[in-house]
Chains A and B, each alone.
Chain A
């Protein structure tokens, strides 16, 4: 009982702190080599959030109000589901389903729907283009994600994330399946449309699905994106970096460190890579990455048979 309460608390804390941590880390990554650190790094995200709360939410011509207001909240809810799936220790986990890997897969699939809805419901041209573009991306990365995750589940012989971690006792999946984590990181960038895969909210669309959003709903949207990034990092740390496993420190601390590591890696990629042209992106996904994820799966399967 206490453990389930503690794990629930953990989800809420990450939900509340996640956006701030992501914003600060992103600023740190952006200014890292030249070290132009201002107090802005620490206070900036907070004052920006305060500004967005002060700003009024605008209207467009005949939007689908329900969907428009709900989409950011739903995306946040999906991110929260993702967070609830991350095991902090063998027992400290909010939702220990036997099919938690599949549930994460459905979070990814539903995220596509929600992001599409966010762009579609504004009833404006640029968000709509962003939304359609995102669907092409979303349908491409979901298959990759599925194969890579099945690969991670194979050595555990279970679709339960706690079992997936337990199976990495001798060797982490990042070593056992070297293709897994790099491919999964691409999925993460796609899921949060971050950096090179920001096809939904991109600069060529003046903000894409978020181009017509202001005020509190924009704040929720940005927070949801950040929390999704954290949730994804947590899942990646669990599935490939051995979750709570590690010497000296207690399990939850290891999960936290590994999550922050994956997060920093994603933010760094986001700062250093240009946005991939949508056509090139889809080609890359289907012609290069999808076959690579097949290879990853076959590799994992052969290893599992061998053992």
Chain B
């Protein structure tokens, strides 16, 4: 039974999971990342289990099918709090967060031991464009270059180069809606020359995000400031995790996330900040770009606006916060670095406010206007600002662009807290 021991061993491996995030709350991310039995991977090719979290809107179902079919067999799909696509038979469905990790592990085990068949493909396995090559080499047509063998014409320098006049061939492709370095749902048509982005057209905005329930509660009744500020710090730490994961600093990223999970008024940011400074990320990563002008910053609101020097924070209008002596912190230059420094400063400030408010059990006073960690929510919640990327990204190198996107929180905030309340 030579195969059998190999499969036994494979069944014990860490479960490589490719997550597709629909509507969800961020606590789930920490559960998955910090589990020693689960490994979240960046490419569907590297996964054994596809995890679909929450409901996927109908507009993105095709994208989901494409991701689904990219997993190499044997693979399985686990649906968490969302209806499975109709095309699938015998779907694995989980509703409780504490059962999720176990289900993922069990599914992987069953796959490896052959107790479960690999999921079937949803789309036909054929090239997107029919083969149109002619001749021996398929070059076809006239001259050296010929026809359109893969349905793609030869690139003909459609755009003048943005930077140095060195016109290279442009490469146009579509990325998203479930690319891990982009917010979930964001889909864009991108043209590259080399690895410089020539144009970026957002085709589908990011999915709305659900904040912690306390932010929704704060719009209905006074809530304890300590709780609200801890939730805010937690939110920023999760954002920090995403940025650090992208920067390849996996261990500090996990540190940020475990700090978020155990966050209390006694928590300190110093250790994490020290690790970050020592790693040199502020100097080595591409953090000088991504400058927002005042108009863009105002449109985004929240930490991004304050990092660009806008002194706007709804907490200033709240009598309880005024009693705590709250003053918003600002940066001036609005770059990627300023946004990360702003986030770190705001985590520190939130912890400080939580510590001050906790002994008296101070509650918020203003329920009309709440400053969410994403931005101000007075009349309506912060709106999707993915379209800003179309202006910001052209001219940047790929790595700079991805670093910028990670630093820029452009997602819409959902109106209601959804299932997290139930």
Contacts and interface: CB of A to CB of B under 8 A. Distances in A.
Interface of A: 30, 36, 38, 40, 43-44, 46-48, 50-51, 53-58, 61-62, 125, 128-129, 132-133, 195-196, 198, 202-207, 210-215, 218, 271-280
A212 B46 CA distance: 8
Contacts of A50: 6-7, 9-10, 13
A277 B14 contact: no
Nearest to A122: B45
A277 B279 contact: no
A203 B182 CA distance: 12
Contact of B10 (A54, A204, A213, A279): A54
B400 interface: yes
Contact of B46 (A40, A132, A218): A218
B112 interface: yes
B102 interface: no
Nearest to B118: A56
Interface stretch (B66-74, B211-219, B226-234, B317-325): B66-74
7 contacts: A47-B13, A54-B112, A55-B73, A203-B180, A204-B399, A204-B403, A277-B400
Given A132-B194, A206-B181, A40 B14 contact: yes
Given A51-B13, A277-B284, A211 B45 contact: yes
Interface residues of B, number: 54
Contact of A196 (B112, B245, B284): B284
Question: For the complex, would chain A's binding face be called helix, strand, loop or mixed by DSSP majority?
Answer: helix
A215 B171 CA distance: 28
Interface stretch (B246-254, B326-334, B361-369): B246-254
Contacts of B36: 36, 38, 40
Contacts of A212: 43, 45
B397 A62 contact: no
B46 A53 contact: no
A205 B398 contact: yes
B181 A277 contact: no
Contacts of B10: 47, 50-51, 53-54
Interface string B364-403: 0000000000000000000000000000000001111011
Interface string B4-16: 0011011111101
Best-surrounded residue of A30, A44, A214 (most CB of chain B within 10 A): A214
A178 B412 CA distance: 54
A276 B246 contact: no
B245 A203 contact: yes
6 A-B pairs with least C-beta separation: A277-B286, A47-B13, A50-B9, A275-B248, A50-B10, A204-B402
Contact of A58 (B13, B45, B173, B250): B45
Contacts of A38: 36
Contacts of A54: 6-7, 10, 74, 112
A234 B417 CA distance: 57
A273 B280 contact: yes
Interface of B: 6-7, 9-14, 16, 36, 41-43, 45-46, 48, 70, 72-74, 112, 127-128, 150, 171, 173, 175, 179-181, 192, 194-195, 244-251, 278-281, 284-286, 397-400, 402-403
A30 B253 CA distance: 12
B70 A278 contact: no
A207 B46 contact: yes
B365 to A, nearest CB: 41
A51 B43 contact: no
Given A56-B72, A129-B192, A279 B397 contact: yes
Nearest to A38: B36
Contact of B251 (A133, A214, A271): A271
Contacts of B48: 51, 55
A45 to B, nearest CB: 9
B195 A215 contact: no
B30 to A, nearest CB: 16
Given A30-B250, A204-B398, 13 more contacts: A46-B9, A47-B14, A51-B112, A202-B399, A203-B180, A204-B402, A204-B403, A206-B42, A206-B43, A218-B46, A273-B280, A275-B247, A277-B285
Contact of B70 (A46, A58, A204): A58
A207 B70 CA distance: 14
Nearest to A61: B127
A274 B284 contact: yes
A274 B16 contact: no
Contact of B248 (A129, A198, A215): A198
